[in-house]
Chains A and B, each alone.
Chain A
């Protein structure tokens, strides 16, 4: 359908293919520079990874607990006992909550800006959403702790009352909403701009002809979106969500300020408790001795692996869907 439309979405970026050198000096210098930068980047990444792995291995070799299943973080004690079970759980759960809230809203905003809003409204709205990305995360943290947490008490009680039977929304402890759920809401707000702006760009790239063809067949605006915009933008939205997820997984200060961390795994996400990798590193780093820092580095390495896995999975999904979207032909 769109075989004649040249678009850049999701096709490999035009790197490499160092074919047609003209033999001019400028070309050679530029080729050398870019090759050098590429190699330098790999070397830097490799040395960071090597350093982290080395430091982590020191800590892991002396750990008295099971690194994967221990519900405790007592790395400065003698003997040291620490494990990432709670952190892994908390990181994943808070990110899932954030994605579940942020992605639908972001897609909605992006569709509104690209297809529904009048021109005069679309641009300022787009700027406003993008501006959210410029707010430092500690500000989100302070706002979350002082404003969001007290405001969420009502919502929590409501969820407990009507959705308590789901177990997940069963609130078993009294207390303010310093929970993984609240963290998820805060993270959702924080990742909104990146997901929105990438989705918006993707939706704007939908070939005009596709939309016009659908309209010519008598489709309503919503049908146009459903039949041409969403299928075309699907892989782009997935990429955007993965960018957002990356930020949610690694967010530190906002989580550390809002969460009431504890080393317990609880499926009741409205109860205070839990923890995330980044929050734990921020909280423990100050008082940690040399060995405690190595242990924290080991936990950071797990976060690194988690992000790699997520990115890999996303690439797989996109690669499979690529054939069905009109994006690359």
Chain B
């Protein structure tokens, strides 16, 4: 009786855990449900997955119009899908080998590109024969979607990092934006303390436990968490240690306010609680929602790490690339991308003022639209400046285990801020990443 009941309990608890077990069983029937679109079936229609109606979807719609000028029958079927959903769908489709469920073109986060293309090589079509000239993109950006020398993605939005500052707060403390141009982090901190004393405004804000800031500093010196062979280089990484030192000093001095969520971070900018922010240029969209601060902002390059070889004032954060799926009408899809995102100044001239989408395609920078002054940034032609920065961003190896390494480094930073010895914490992080890779 008792044994029977225990058996029944095991069965019952088994049922509880099942949800989890089923989750990890690799989705045997999941992919077939849901989308019934017949993508890649030829004709003149391409299916596209992208996630932001005001940004990348808008850009796709404009690209459709551009391509329609020469190909009147051409049509896009754009499906809105968040990045998390695209990632889950890709995983499920690849695990179930149901590649016919893929659209023709989909947007991929740059930081996740390597991971997906290496784990699931059958998802992507190589762009070797597409005729797209990848030398017209900054090397650092194209590198995200290049595996073993083969390009798999057309870089779309620029993640080029900018240091956007409130000139009104700076002038209260007697500074101008020029004082923050081409400086080192040491100077930056000194001036930051001064501004905090005089005005009470911290310079920066950011999510606690997010390593975005550190990763930007690392890339600005061309450094990464991995060497060229893909081995983790978290310990004995001078650039990383310098970055962590700068970061923790800024937090301790109160120059950098840590908040808990992305919303809080955006609020700190829009509500005018901080004097500046350092992030990818896409942040300008959020900044400009604070119309009352119009004219008070200016953009310059990043501070550089002192005493680190190859340290520059240029970096990147985020950004995404268009990939052609293995299931696509390859000829049409590649020609479409080649004639639009990798070949149409008109397209970029439309989407820049329309959505603030800064091109990665270098020839677009010659357009006059880029040299237009932007009122919100006090008449500065910020997009032209951003393109100049973009061309100088050092490339670094993100690798397959980028997310694991980032998480591990974030955890290490939290521990270091909590008083743990840096070497120990970084060694633990390295062990965690090596474990994940084993």
> Do these two chains interact?
no
Q: Which residues of A contact B (CB under 8 A)?
A: none
Q: Which residues of B contact A (CB under 8 A)?
A: none
